Chains A and B, each alone.
Chain A
Amino acid sequence: MNDRKEIDRGLKTDLDGRLREINQRLGRDIDPEVKEKSRRRNSAGMALALRVASEFVSSILVGAAIGYGIDWLLGSSPWVMIVFLLLGFAAGVLNVMRSAGDFSTVHDIKDDGNEGR
């Protein structure tokens, strides 16, 4: 392999080598894998920005709705709803923390998507 490269360098027929050379000369990012990763990180960040607010609000609403439903069944209005509204708030915070956790695992150079969730 190395021998061939030695021979080919003079003739410039080694496609990989030529590509690397032109990329270096143009000052481009050479490693395609690194580039792909940073691009994915970027779009993941924007996706996170769009997620956080709606997840927080929807948990509170669903918590209140479940509480209201139980109240309606038991006739204990408004106590269960108050409790579930607060639980919904906690769930909202949990959801936001979870998406932030996903975010930080994306930012580590850890490729295992199942970890830390």
Chain B
Amino acid sequence: MANDPIKQFELKEYIPLEIGGVDISFTNSSLFMVATVVVTSAFLLWATSGRGMIPGRAQSLAEMAYEFIANMLRDAAGSQGMVFFPLVFSLFMFILVANMFGMFPYFFTVTSHIIVTVALALLVFFTVIIYGFYKNGLTFLKLFVPSGVPAPLLLIVVPIEVISFFSRPLSHSVRLFANMLAGHITLKVFAGFIVSMGGAGALGVAGAILPFLMTLGLTGLEFLVAFLQAYVFTMLTCMYLNDALHPDGH
């Protein structure tokens, strides 16, 4: 069926590959990931190649992106957090550009697959754990023991803190994936209504204006969500990295 709302998320193998029994075929998802990385890098390299004292349009866009992330990271994790700037900036640009690519008709949305968002969230999660232990040693475990809590209560509070910590990669990844998936399905469903109502005579064509207006509005909303999800993901990354740097900070 032409307007099956799920079909847009199907993986298509372009170059079948298998190494050691593991399927690592080059799919449309891989293609769009490569495209995202290439477009982002190419744009940033091109935009900053002029190194103008007075930035042009492209350069000021690149500088705005830099400052946006640098401020976010500095606000959340302090100036020591800037060691993570390359990671956080790459994450933000990758998610933002992948989400925006998804808004083109017939394009594939990389972030609408949970395996991709889980990989990104686990990357952040393990960075926090490994860097936290590397930097603070066992004092990193203070993260689970809030200061000023009486000893008997720790029996309850520590498991709660542990659950709260381990729930992070789940909420981190599901939020991005679910928003992108649900948004694209809604968009497709309402767009499908236009076609099916348009095929139902003159009254249907007149009525098709309603889902058309809805699709129009939703498209705008989806652009907002595409940006906001990249923003939320990055902001939470900064906050989690802050825990790795200052485990007794809360």
Point out residues on A near B: beta carbons under 8 Å: 43, 46-47, 50-51, 54-55, 57-59, 61-63, 66, 84, 87-88, 90-92, 94-95, 102, 113-114, 117
Contacts and interface: CB of A to CB of B under 8 A. Distances in A.
Contact of A84 (B75, B159, B178, B229): B159
Contacts of B75: 113
Contacts, number: 77
8 contacts: A54-B174, A55-B167, A59-B171, A63-B163, A92-B167, A94-B161, A113-B75, A117-B250
B207 to A, nearest CB: 33
Interface in B131-185: 156, 159-164, 166-168, 170-171, 174-175, 178-179
Contacts of B162: 66
B interface, how many residues as a size bin? Answer: 20 to 34
Interface string B83-110: 0000000000000000000000000000
B242 interface: yes
Interface in B205-240: 228-229, 231-232, 235-236, 239
Question: Majority SS of interface residues in chain B?
Answer: helix
B250 A87 contact: no
B200 to A, nearest CB: 37
